[in-house]
Amino acid sequence: MPKVKVSIAKADNYEEAQTGIRAVMEPLGGFGAFIKDGQSVWLKPNMVRPLPNVPALTDARFMAALIREIKEQTDPSRIVVADAPYRGYPGVKAFNFEGEYSGLKMKETCEKEGAEVIYLDEYKWEKVEIPSAKVLKEAEFSKLRNEVDVIINVPKLKTHVQPGITVALKNWHGFISWPYRRLWHADNLSQKLVDIFKGPGAMPALNIVDGIIGVHEFGPSIAGLPYDSKTIIASPDPVATDAVASYMMGWDDPFQVEMVRIGHYDGVGVGDLNEIEIVGEPIFQFEDWIRPNMDLIAVYPNVNVIVGGLCAGCKSRVKFAMENILKRGLWEEYFEKHGPLTIVCGVGARLPEPSEDVWYVGDCTQFGQKWDEEGNPRFAWDEETVAERRKLLEDPKAVWFRGCPVWFTALSDEIKERVRKAAEAEA
């Protein structure tokens, strides 16, 4: 059985993007192996959230180069660029944001190259069933997938504080509607992402990764750092794409990345490097690429974290907030005005007395812990336990961030708001 191919090419900057795209596609047979003349094509970038100082989006220059190269190698009837960004950042905003790194607006740039831009969040959705899914048994998929002949996944090379990486598989979160994106964004996120690819019409024909400038450390967005990765990766297999990307980002065994391992064993793609043929440039690992971690306790001075049974959802939100504020240099200013902070999260976590400096995180903090007759600890969600804990959580002095998981920026937004108010009070 032939091995699945993953192609790697170098591109030192976005001026070399088209040359790099041509080089990465050549060992795969060029775009003609995936697009026939007269076919329509949907290019799905990562437009999750435009940011002024982090290259979190697929770069507009990369998209322009990709459109040009597709048109030079094939004769498509239509090229559509479409994505559904992050909540609060609708397509009309994300696609018309002037990127700090490119200095370009995605919509204007793609339209100049002759492509059509669709704001997927404003487009038509349809509910579909996914019988072979393990978590996401149903979802809403964009109807655009039924209106094109070829779908090409164009993700960004980034780390992600929760699943570790966000490349080909994670980019397909934007393939489903927002309500379904909010579901199961905790310990089962990786399984959910793999399940999307099992749905009708969901498998892309090709994945081509913008890794010219990536994001490392605490990605995918505000708390991440830019990295000159100078690389483009391409493959028809999204799992293999992520396996190679994760190795290059420092995971010696890609199966350490849960979504790669799940995708492999669920049969969505190939995640074992021994079953992948690397073509183009040899595979390598980026020097000094920083992988994210989820350490919370005894990491941040003056922040005391009390945890119970904590899932990856709220844990990643707390970690994101800590790193976001650290990178913005706001901790010293915050502690000067407010003093030490205690963060409590997880089922059964000990609840200190409420105050403005004690933050309870997540709906699950209302559930407690008891011991059974044999002395084994058990989670307790009986009426009496919940009422007792909610008495603290709903106290007028309490600060309780609700959600399962909480909103990604909820904690960091609260810290920034307190710093802002303190500065205004002194002005």
Q: How far apart are CA 86 and CA 101, in angstroms?
A: 20
DSSP-derived letter for residue 353 is P
What is the per-residue pLDDT for 371? 79
What is the per-residue pLDDT for 186? 66
C-alpha distances out from residue 102 to 50, 67, 144, 254, 293, Å: 12, 16, 28, 31, 29
Q: Do domains 4-280 and 303-426 have the same CATH topology?
A: yes
- For 188, the 3-state DSSP assignment is coil
Mean pLDDT over 58-64 rounds to 96
Mean pLDDT over 153-157 rounds to 97
**pTM passes above 0.75:** yes
- Please provide residue 346's backbone torsions phi and psi, each rounded to the nearest 5 degrees: 105, 155
What are the residues facing 210 on neighbouring strands? 156, 232
Average pLDDT of the residues of the chain: 92
Q: Kindly state the tokens that stand for 6.
A: 């993953």
Whole-number percent of the chain with pLDDT over 90: 72
Domain ranges of the chain: 4-280, 303-426
Helix (H) or strand (E) holding 180: helix 178-182
Mean pLDDT over 250-263 rounds to 97
Strands 150-154 vs 138-142: parallel, antiparallel or unpaired: unpaired
Mean pLDDT over 271-286 rounds to 98
Taking only the tens place, the pLDDT of each residue in 235-244 is 999 999 999 9
Mean pLDDT over 62-86 rounds to 96
At the second CATH level, the architecture of 4-280 is 3-Layer(aba) Sandwich (3.40)
Q: Which residue has the higher pLDDT, 265 or 104?
A: 265
Domain topology for 303-426: Rossmann fold (3.40.50)
Instruction: List the single range of 179-188, 279-288, 351-360, 394-403 with lowest mean pLDDT.
Output: 179-188
What is the per-residue pLDDT for 185? 67
E strand residue ranges, 104-205: 116-119, 125-129, 138-142, 150-154, 156-160, 164-166
148 has pLDDT over 90: yes
Mean pLDDT over 368-386 rounds to 85
Taking only the tens place, the pLDDT of each residue in 11-59 is 999 999 999 999 999 999 999 999 999 999 999 999 987 666 778 889 9
Mean pLDDT over 200-221 rounds to 93
Q: Kindly state the tokens that stand for 165.
A: 């990486």
C-alpha distances out from residue 370 to 180, 349, 381, 404, Å: 34, 12, 10, 22
194 band by pLDDT with thresholds 50, 70 and 90: very high
Whole-number percent of the chain with pLDDT over 70: 98
What is the per-residue pLDDT for 42? 98
Q: How far apart are CA 314 and CA 320, in angstroms?
A: 10
How far from the centroid of its chain's Cα atoms is residue 105's Cα? Answer: 21
Instruction: List the single range of 64-78, 253-267, 330-344 with lowest mean pLDDT.
Output: 330-344
Mean pLDDT over 58-66 rounds to 97
DSSP-derived letter for residue 309 is B
What is the per-residue pLDDT for 239? 98
372 band by pLDDT with thresholds 50, 70 and 90: confident
184 band by pLDDT with thresholds 50, 70 and 90: low
259 band by pLDDT with thresholds 50, 70 and 90: very high
Q: Which residue has the higher pLDDT, 170 or 378?
A: 170
Who's near 329: CB < 8 A, 6+ residues apart? none
- Please provide residue 231's backbone torsions phi and psi, each rounded to the nearest 5 degrees: -140, 145
What is the per-residue pLDDT for 181? 82
163 has pLDDT over 90: no
Taking only the tens place, the pLDDT of each residue in 300-327 is 999 999 999 888 888 888 988 888 888 8
Q: Which residue has the higher pLDDT, 426 or 401?
A: 401
DSSP-derived letter for residue 114 is T
What is the per-residue pLDDT for 178? 85
Cβ burial 279-306 (10 Å sphere, 16+ → b, else e) = bbbeeeebeeebbbeeebeeebeebebb
Reading phi first (left if > 0) and then psi (alpha if -120 to 50, else beta), residue 38 is in left
299 has pLDDT over 80: yes
201 has pLDDT over 90: yes
Mean pLDDT over 247-272 rounds to 97
219 has pLDDT over 80: no
Reading phi first (left if > 0) and then psi (alpha if -120 to 50, else beta), residue 3 is in beta
What is the per-residue pLDDT for 369? 85
How far from the centroid of its chain's Cα atoms is residue 427's Cα? Answer: 39
